[in-house]
Structure 1
Amino acid sequence: MDQRKDVYEYQSKCSIDINELIKFSGNEKKKVARRRWAILAKALKSPTGSEPSSPTDEYSVRRISSFMLLQTQQLPSGSVSPTDARLLDQFNKRTWYSYSMLVGERSFSVHVGHRNRTFSAEDLMGFNNTGNICIWPSEETLSYYVCNNLDMFNDKKVLELGGGMSCLAGLYVATYGRPRSVTLTDGNKISMENVQVTLECNKFDCPVDSRVLKWNDVSFAEFHDVILCADCLFFDDARNDLIDCLWRTLPPNGLALVMAPERGNTLDNFIDQSRKIGFQCRKIVNYNDVVWSKRLALLDNVEFDDNIHYPILIEVTKS
């Protein structure tokens, strides 16, 4: 399947009414919960076995599904298998894809499993599930950026925060960079189950591990030289925890690459709050010529909105 095609169509066989989920008044925490339920409801309204669906709210209308940097192709049955036989059952519950991109004349490809869509009540009420729903443009552009700059990961300890169901940028670094180690994380256990199975179906020359990590877990304070973070500024209520997590895990000479669209004031609020605790933040709008040309080509598209569709790179440091 080519990411140029918009596969996020909703053909419902369910009776879930998204408007019913979001129309009730309440405090801010309830509003956040309703937004997350609305996102999941759209996913549930997609036909079983379809591509992951996409969230829609006042700051995240995903009419532009891709910057055409990634191509995905479903892999034939039996062409990929886990190295750990104990994961065979989990492996068979997924449809497998090759995620590939061309950087100059070099091709980069990784295998990613898409969990066949089933959601339990526990899944729906769990930690933010947006990472289980789709590959976001910020993940796509961050992955393209890291594949263009693999030297920055040489002999570095790399951490990905909020990587969702694929931890795609970290997966490319682990496969094609020469890092000392890579740790892939997300706060949602369903996402990390998918990542763990995915790791067993790719080959690495460095230690790669995955773990469930909620950003307010103060017991996780291990320094990492480079931190990757794609589209993690979506919910205002999680911003302080993300900044605190970055502070605990980024050494004085480290670098965090945070990729996200402006999306209202969410990106600028992140920068302001980060600077208040001592971070240096460098906002880079044009960070790659190819991505920039894709943006310019989309400006005439009536459905393209720079504020919610174009990912911006923030370099975060302590020194």
Structure 2
Amino acid sequence: METGAGTSAKASTLRWKILRQALLRKPNADEQSAIGVERITRKTTQGFNLIPSHLVDGSTRSTDATVCYTLPIDSAPKLYVTQRVVDRAKLSDFEICNEYNIDNTGLVCQWPSEEALAYFCLQNADMFRSKRVIELGSGYGLAGLVIAAVTEASEVVISDGNPQVVDYIQRNIDANSKAFGGTKVKAMMLHWNQKDISNISNTFDLIVASDCTFFKEFHNDLAQIVKFLLEKVRPSEAIFFSPKRGDSLDKFLEKVKESSLCFSVRENYDAEIWKRHNQLMNGDGSWPSYEKDHCYPLLVRIML
């Protein structure tokens, strides 16, 4: 007896169906409904809704769209983030992933952990003042842009290992250049296991990253690049926002410990983020597939 996608079909099975359709052709709305996309996908259009945003009128052209973020503090500039909005994966994306040994998640959407990191940086601006900051695995770079716009950091480098993503980061830096004041801001192609890291000519006081610990095959490289950066200037620290995602975060922290680094983990680190989390846990319908383990980012601080 067959089971419907909306009843007892396993989430993993449904995700494979979505992947198959994404590669072969764009599914219509009826097909998506039959698969049960909203029930099992981790992608969300709203996330924690910590920073008000809206789609810029007329900005959707071809595969891109621009989102305007209104930072919830007095006299803060608006930030404009252009991102890809296609619903179907391109085979060329996977070719690039294979060539650079990277994943494709940075192109998928603005992930909620990035928004939580950006909001945390906004609320803790003093932490970044006059500091040199690098964001690892940034995706479209919202957190790095927020740090550059409101914290008076001396320098912000927004990095990713996917060259397609880095192109978007540069476009977003250019679009918001007037918001950065005296802060130097640049995009950087940075693969965590690259042997030649001469392009990291500067030292950094703070490292930030969000949702970078899901893929276990990258854990060792990520821990090693964090150690390398922390060793270049002392005192310094890394601030990671990462959901547990099964045992993936724990496995990463094992690599951190093996690298002779110290870390702390906090669950309740910001009143507003914690409030939004509890609303979602108590049945807020804005994020149908919300689960604490996969969606709520813990605050991990790493240091020598």
TM-score tier (shorter): 0.7 to 0.9
Q: CA deviation at 1:22?
A: 5.0
Equivalent residues of 1:252, 1:317 under 8 A apart: no
Equivalent residues of 1:226, 1:254 under 8 A apart: yes
CA distance in structure 2 between the aligned counterparts of 1:120 and 1:45, rounded to whole angstroms: 11
2:203 maps to 223
CA distance in structure 2 between the aligned counterparts of 1:163 and 1:289, rounded to whole angstroms: 24
Q: CA deviation at 1:314?
A: 0.2
Q: 1:243 to 1:73 in 2, by over 3 A?
A: same
Q: 1:265 to 1:141 in 2, by over 3 A?
A: same
Q: Percent identity?
A: 27
CA distance in structure 1 between the aligned counterparts of 2:47 and 2:158, rounded to whole angstroms: 23
1:199 maps to 173
1:294 aligns with 2:273: no
Q: CA deviation at 1:276?
A: 1.6
CA distance in structure 2 between the aligned counterparts of 1:244 and 1:214, rounded to whole angstroms: 12
1:278 aligns with 2:260: yes
2:127 maps to 152
2:224 maps to 244
Question: 5+ residue gaps in structure 2?
Answer: 1-11, 29-36, 98-102
Higher helix share: 2
User: What are the Cα deviations for residues 109-167 of structure 1, in whole angstroms up to 9, with x where unaligned?
Assistant: 31111235386533222231111111111101100000001111111111000001x21
Equivalent residues of 2:265, 2:298 under 8 A apart: yes
Equivalent residues of 1:93, 1:116 under 8 A apart: yes
Q: 1:74 to 1:248 in 2, by over 3 A?
A: same
Question: 5+ residue gaps in structure 1?
Answer: 1-17, 24-36, 48-55, 79-90
1:313 maps to 299
Equivalent residues of 1:223, 1:248 under 8 A apart: no
Name the SS of the counterpart of 1:125 in structure 2.
Answer: helix
Q: 1:298 to 1:20 in 2, by over 3 A?
A: closer
- TM-score (ref. length: structure 1): 0.73
Q: Which consecutive aligned stretches of 4+ in structure 1 deviate over 6 angstroms post-superposition?
A: 18-21
User: What are the Cα deviations for residues 251-282 of structure 1, in whole angstroms up to 9, with x where unaligned?
Assistant: 33111110011110111111121012111101
- TM-score (ref. length: structure 2): 0.77
Equivalent residues of 1:64, 1:304 under 8 A apart: no
2:245 maps to 263
Q: 1:62 to 1:43 in 2, by over 3 A?
A: farther
1:185 maps to 159
Q: CA deviation at 1:178?
A: 0.9
